[in-house]
Chain A
Amino acid sequence: MRLIKRKTNINFLGKSRRKIALGISVLVVVVSLYELAVEGLEFGIDFTGGILLEIGYSEPANLEEIRINLAGEGYDDAIVQRFGSDTDVLVRLPPQEGANPDELREDLRRAVAIGTDGVDLRRVESVSPQVGKELTERGGLAMIIALMLIFVYVMIRFQWKFAAGAVAALIHDVIVTVGFFAVFNLPFDLTVVAAVLAVIGYSLNDTVVAFDRIRENFFKLRGVSAEESMNTSINEMLARTIITGVTTLLVLVALLVFGGESIAPFSIALIVGIIVGTYSSIYTASATALLLGVNAQDLLEPVKDPDLIDDLP
């Protein structure tokens, strides 16, 4: 069975197409950054600190009533949402300074149970704002270190123009994936950070595989422009790119559909990231390397001057 006909010859990296792709990339990145700056992310309590309750009701819950009940107890800044089904509700509260945690828990349990014959408190999490701040800092630091190490690795294995292309693609993927969460107001929690880092891994995978073939073709196809041999490489890898993408997406869609509400944000981040990552391997990574004027010469080992050795005593 074949999804792709024998040999494709699509001009992925033609001048005009690259321009269109560049336009799209820039637009999407700008929109993402704008949304991140203006709307911001809907950070989960992992980051902001605060209290989270997951409550199971025996009958479909009336969110407005829960909100009023909570406000009646003095919690007027509670965010009340459905969580997966009609009977499951998620309540989030900002950090409660100085409150006794035991009393607080009982207080909340009472408030959300008003008008019902008891609720099932499935999950109670309370995170201090300090922990949240540390997480944000460490998460950001982890990402920067990962990007740096990856840059170094690609530079050693290939060349700095490739490394720049790879890192540009990764930054593009991170911005767009996180931006997606800002645009659609999806909850951004720790699992999403894990997903974004996994996206880095996947997109990198894709980019490096493409680079590997480009390097091979730079040596094999002599007398052909860099643009052409890159195009050939991407065409040769097209079947693999699509199949790997499809199989990974198959698993992730299963995770999104059947995995339950708590890992939905994780699945969404990965699905978006993998689609963006596949695109960026071609249009950000390769195009950037091309823009930087990469050519076959860059990958040749510099030949040592044999005279130098003769001069030695």
Chain B
Amino acid sequence: MNRYPAWLNTLVLVVLMTGLLFALPNIYGSAPAVQLADADANPITQLQLENFVRTLESEDITPEASYIKDDRAVIRFLDEEDQQRAADRLRARYGQDNNVALTLAPRLPEWVRGLGLNPMSLGLDLRGGVYVLLEVDMDTAIGNRMQGYEQDFEDRLREARIRHRVDLNNGIITIRLTSADDLEAARRVVTEADAELLVADGTDGRSLTIRLTEQQIKDRQDFAIEQNMTTLRNRVDQLGVAEPLVQRQGVDRIVVQLPGVQDPTELEKILTATATLEFRLVDQSGNLPGTRSYPGRGNEQAQMLKREVVASGDEIIDARSGFTPEGQPAVHITLDSAGGERMLATTSENVGKPMSTLFIEWQQKDVMRNGQLESRRVKTEEIINTATIRGVFKNRFQITGLTPIEARDLAVLLRAGALAAPVFKVDERVIGPTLGQDNIDRGFRAIQIGFLAVIVFMAFYYRWFGMIANLALFSNLVFIVAVLSMLGASLTLPGIAGIVLTVGMAVDANVLIFERIREELRDGASPQAAINSGYEKALSSIADANITTLIAAIVLLAFGTGPIKGFAITLMIGILTSMFTAIIGTRSIVNFVFGGRKLSSLPV
């Protein structure tokens, strides 16, 4: 009785070893390091890395280790002085093509890094930094889309020679026809443009109302968020911050976390100043309907631009600076298919005519209105470039007539500057590094002390069985750390609290089992029978209790935000791992030590 089959013992051992392995990277701590990332997001090569290191060594700075991780070069140092000097040198020498950032890198030995293992990262509340929650203006995102349709219908209806008027109001396009006979033709034009749109007849029998479907709105929102996130990531990368986090939250929010950054001013500028681009033809006659004059940025000339947008920033897939075959500096641009189609149609009719790139920026500014200070969105429109169309092109083209530096800046701007919709800051937190360190120290000390108190108590109260439970408790901690490292989740203050809580509650399962064993012994069962029925009978209580707590944790995870999520994740992991360690883990040890032999009493 009470023997585990060999495979089960092996399984427990394998799981434990795996847990230890994954938790291992956390014991090495971290060292000051410098991270270099290519400004154009190309992977750093081994050769480049060797160059970086050689540069440092020629300055008498000896890196402790250097390697490439996630396409970026990481160079580790023994102290912060070396790190600072190295960063200055590297910035001076390579800063033009690379983003150089100070960071903390885990001090992993070669072989651990080789296995692709990583320690769990620390949340902002634990290591300091800036947290910003941004909201994407979805109304504008959808409004922009509808404006695109409005113009499209206008063009198509004119082409089909249907007399009409098109209006856009509150996200609904109304097409009013002069004659009711054109209704079907107009409907065909609309469905040709996009068959999925919701088209309804107007009450007067000669108008159509057009709306986006729920799915289209959702797609548009997803697109706006994705596009904004990519853009924000690019911009944040250009700040040169190591390990930035840009993450979607809910329907219309984006979280940006910058560890180690203490001054949010710089971040603020990049994040909330949202910009987009439009390519428009210059109206050389200057008197077409809808034509307006736009100022030029810096030395750029002001131009009269046509109302129609040929392609906009959210249609740019890629933009890179480079040279034409003739050796002129240029920006190579790639558009998506819709933008490409329109570009083709426009350029084939307008070779030799000038086209402008219009830069549009939104900023939050304070203005006085009726004697009250109000925060309003201000739109700035400037021409950043005007160039002559040299030939017919589609989705790939280049802008020339720039200096190499201008080309580089424009490429960065085009790549990073296109936001599908404006974003606004709704929440901001700056956590100082002293508070961070303080929190870590206190949190870990609290865990140590609490843990120690429980261990001492259990050892006294349940003697050898208590020691077995303590082993389980320890491996439970190892598992939580291992799973957090595996998931790449970061440990936050509420996360520590969650772990502390599971430490307390993990004991409960063992208490239930041991009390049951004592009861069975009291009722006259033999030691072996008491162990067996103790584990068996306690199981349903443990399962019920843990499942209900798990329900609460899942609901927290689903509905909670930020700190609550961190707490819920560790609680969930803790419940699952503690079930394994407290039931199967302790049983395998109990079986190994006490099972299968004659016992007169149990040290419980």
Residues in chain A within 8 A of chain B (CB atoms)? 1, 3, 6-7, 54, 56, 97-102, 105, 120-128, 130-131, 135, 138-139, 141-142, 145-146, 149-150, 153-154, 157, 190-191, 193-195, 197-198, 200-202, 204-206, 208-209, 211-213, 216, 236-237, 239-240, 243-244, 246-255, 257-260, 262-263, 266-267, 270
Specify which chain A residues have a CB less than 8 angstroms from the CB of B264 in the assembled complex. Answer: 101-102, 105
Taken together as a complex, chains A and B put the C-alpha atoms of A133 and B167 apart, in Å, by 36
Q: For window 188-212 of chain B, which residues contact chain A by CB distance below 8 Å?
A: none
Taken together as a complex, chains A and B put the C-alpha atoms of A143 and B428 apart, in Å, by 26
Specify which chain A residues have a CB less than 8 angstroms from the CB of B556 in the assembled complex. Answer: 142, 146, 194, 197
Whether B552 lies near A122 (C-beta < 8 A) is no
Specify which chain B residues have a CB less than 8 angstroms from the CB of A254 in the assembled complex. Answer: 446-447, 449-450, 453, 500
Whether A131 lies near B427 (C-beta < 8 A) is yes
**Is the CB of B244 closer than 8 A to any CB of chain A?**
no
* B460–chain A nearest beta-carbon distance, Å: 5
Given A101-B268, A244-B508, A260-B443, are A201 and B563 also a contact pair (CB < 8 Å)? no
Taken together as a complex, chains A and B put the C-alpha atoms of A239 and B511 apart, in Å, by 9
Specify which chain A residues have a CB less than 8 angstroms from the CB of B445 in the assembled complex. Answer: 258
Whether B432 lies near A209 (C-beta < 8 A) is no
Whether A201 lies near B549 (C-beta < 8 A) is yes
Specify which chain A residues have a CB less than 8 angstroms from the CB of B375 in the assembled complex. Answer: 97-98
**Is the CB of B431 closer than 8 A to any CB of chain A?**
yes
Whether A258 lies near B548 (C-beta < 8 A) is no
Whether B508 lies near A124 (C-beta < 8 A) is no
Taken together as a complex, chains A and B put the C-alpha atoms of A246 and B508 apart, in Å, by 10
Taken together as a complex, chains A and B put the C-alpha atoms of A201 and B545 apart, in Å, by 8
Q: Mark B494-511, 1 if CB is under 8 A from A, else 0.
A: 101110110111011001
**Is the CB of B544 closer than 8 A to any CB of chain A?**
yes
Specify which chain A residues have a CB less than 8 angstroms from the CB of B49 in the assembled complex. Answer: none
CB-CB nearest in chain B for A98: B375
Specify which chain B residues have a CB less than 8 angstroms from the CB of A249 in the assembled complex. Answer: 504
Q: Mark B469-505, 1 if CB is under 8 A from A, else 0.
A: 0000000000000000000000001101110110111
Taken together as a complex, chains A and B put the C-alpha atoms of A54 and B433 apart, in Å, by 12
CB-CB nearest in chain A for B364: A100
Whether B541 lies near A212 (C-beta < 8 A) is yes
Specify which chain B residues have a CB less than 8 angstroms from the CB of A124 in the assembled complex. Answer: 428-430
Partner of A252, one of B504, B512, B544, B553: B504
Specify which chain B residues have a CB less than 8 angstroms from the CB of A205 in the assembled complex. Answer: 505, 508, 545-546, 548-549
Q: Mark B536-562, 1 if CB is under 8 A from A, else 0.
A: 010011001111110111011011111
* B518–chain A nearest beta-carbon distance, Å: 8
Whether B429 lies near A209 (C-beta < 8 A) is no
* B98–chain A nearest beta-carbon distance, Å: 28
Whether B551 lies near A150 (C-beta < 8 A) is yes
| Size of B's binding interface in residues, CB under 8 A | 77
**Is the CB of B161 closer than 8 A to any CB of chain A?**
no
Q: For window 550-581 of chain B, which residues contact chain A by CB distance below 8 Å?
A: 551-553, 555-556, 558-564, 567-568, 571
Taken together as a complex, chains A and B put the C-alpha atoms of A263 and B548 apart, in Å, by 25
> Beyond the given A125-B430, A240-B515, A251-B454, could you list 17 further A-B residue pairs with CB under 8 A, ordered by the A residue number?
A97-B373, A123-B429, A126-B428, A127-B426, A146-B552, A190-B562, A190-B564, A193-B564, A204-B549, A211-B544, A212-B544, A243-B511, A243-B515, A247-B507, A248-B508, A252-B450, A258-B449
**Is the CB of B458 closer than 8 A to any CB of chain A?**
yes
Taken together as a complex, chains A and B put the C-alpha atoms of A264 and B428 apart, in Å, by 23
* A279–chain B nearest beta-carbon distance, Å: 17
Partner of B559, one of A127, A138, A212, A250: A138
Most chain B CB within a 10 A radius of its CB, from A193, A206, A209: A209
Whether A130 lies near B426 (C-beta < 8 A) is yes
**Is the CB of B133 closer than 8 A to any CB of chain A?**
yes
Specify which chain B residues have a CB less than 8 angstroms from the CB of A262 in the assembled complex. Answer: 435, 439, 493
CB-CB nearest in chain B for A237: B515
CB-CB nearest in chain A for B269: A102
Specify which chain A residues have a CB less than 8 angstroms from the CB of B439 in the assembled complex. Answer: 260, 262
Whether A194 lies near B563 (C-beta < 8 A) is yes
CB-CB nearest in chain B for A52: B429
Whether A6 lies near B522 (C-beta < 8 A) is yes
Taken together as a complex, chains A and B put the C-alpha atoms of A124 and B429 apart, in Å, by 6
* B327–chain A nearest beta-carbon distance, Å: 44
Most chain B CB within a 10 A radius of its CB, from A99, A126, A251, A257: A251
Whether A1 lies near B548 (C-beta < 8 A) is no
Taken together as a complex, chains A and B put the C-alpha atoms of A124 and B512 apart, in Å, by 45
Whether A239 lies near B515 (C-beta < 8 A) is yes
Pick the 6 closest A-B CB pairs, nearest first: A248-B504, A251-B450, A254-B450, A142-B559, A260-B442, A201-B549
Taken together as a complex, chains A and B put the C-alpha atoms of A247 and B553 apart, in Å, by 21
Specify which chain A residues have a CB less than 8 angstroms from the CB of B560 in the assembled complex. Answer: 138-139, 142, 194
CB-CB nearest in chain A for B250: A134
* B574–chain A nearest beta-carbon distance, Å: 11
Specify which chain B residues have a CB less than 8 angstroms from the CB of A145 in the assembled complex. Answer: 555, 559
Partner of A138, one of B496, B546, B561: B561
CB-CB nearest in chain A for B564: A194
Whether A208 lies near B548 (C-beta < 8 A) is yes
Taken together as a complex, chains A and B put the C-alpha atoms of A157 and B541 apart, in Å, by 11
**Is the CB of B451 closer than 8 A to any CB of chain A?**
yes
Taken together as a complex, chains A and B put the C-alpha atoms of A25 and B561 apart, in Å, by 33
Specify which chain A residues have a CB less than 8 angstroms from the CB of B80 in the assembled complex. Answer: none
Whether B512 lies near A123 (C-beta < 8 A) is no
Taken together as a complex, chains A and B put the C-alpha atoms of A85 and B133 apart, in Å, by 31
Specify which chain A residues have a CB less than 8 angstroms from the CB of B552 in the assembled complex. Answer: 146, 150, 197-198, 200-201, 204
Taken together as a complex, chains A and B put the C-alpha atoms of A250 and B446 apart, in Å, by 11
CB-CB nearest in chain B for A202: B505
CB-CB nearest in chain A for B541: A212
Whether A122 lies near B431 (C-beta < 8 A) is yes
Whether B559 lies near A150 (C-beta < 8 A) is no
Whether B503 lies near A251 (C-beta < 8 A) is yes
13 pairs across A/B with beta carbons < 8 Å?
A54-B435, A126-B427, A138-B561, A191-B563, A201-B552, A202-B549, A250-B504, A251-B450, A251-B453, A255-B497, A260-B446, A263-B443, A263-B493
Taken together as a complex, chains A and B put the C-alpha atoms of A98 and B237 apart, in Å, by 29
Partner of A198, one of B366, B451, B562, B571: B571
CB-CB nearest in chain B for A158: B544
Given A122-B435, A131-B133, A254-B453, are A204 and B548 also a contact pair (CB < 8 Å)? yes
Specify which chain B residues have a CB less than 8 angstroms from the CB of A209 in the assembled complex. Answer: 512, 541, 544-545
Taken together as a complex, chains A and B put the C-alpha atoms of A7 and B519 apart, in Å, by 10
* A136–chain B nearest beta-carbon distance, Å: 12
**Is the CB of B265 closer than 8 A to any CB of chain A?**
yes
Specify which chain A residues have a CB less than 8 angstroms from the CB of B133 in the assembled complex. Answer: 131
Specify which chain B residues have a CB less than 8 angstroms from the CB of A244 in the assembled complex. Answer: 505, 507-508, 511-512
Whether A146 lies near B555 (C-beta < 8 A) is yes
Partner of A101, one of B425, B447, B547, B548: B425
Taken together as a complex, chains A and B put the C-alpha atoms of A247 and B507 apart, in Å, by 8
Taken together as a complex, chains A and B put the C-alpha atoms of A120 and B128 apart, in Å, by 13
* A85–chain B nearest beta-carbon distance, Å: 11
**Is the CB of B59 closer than 8 A to any CB of chain A?**
no
Most chain B CB within a 10 A radius of its CB, from A100, A149, A258: A258
**Is the CB of B434 closer than 8 A to any CB of chain A?**
yes
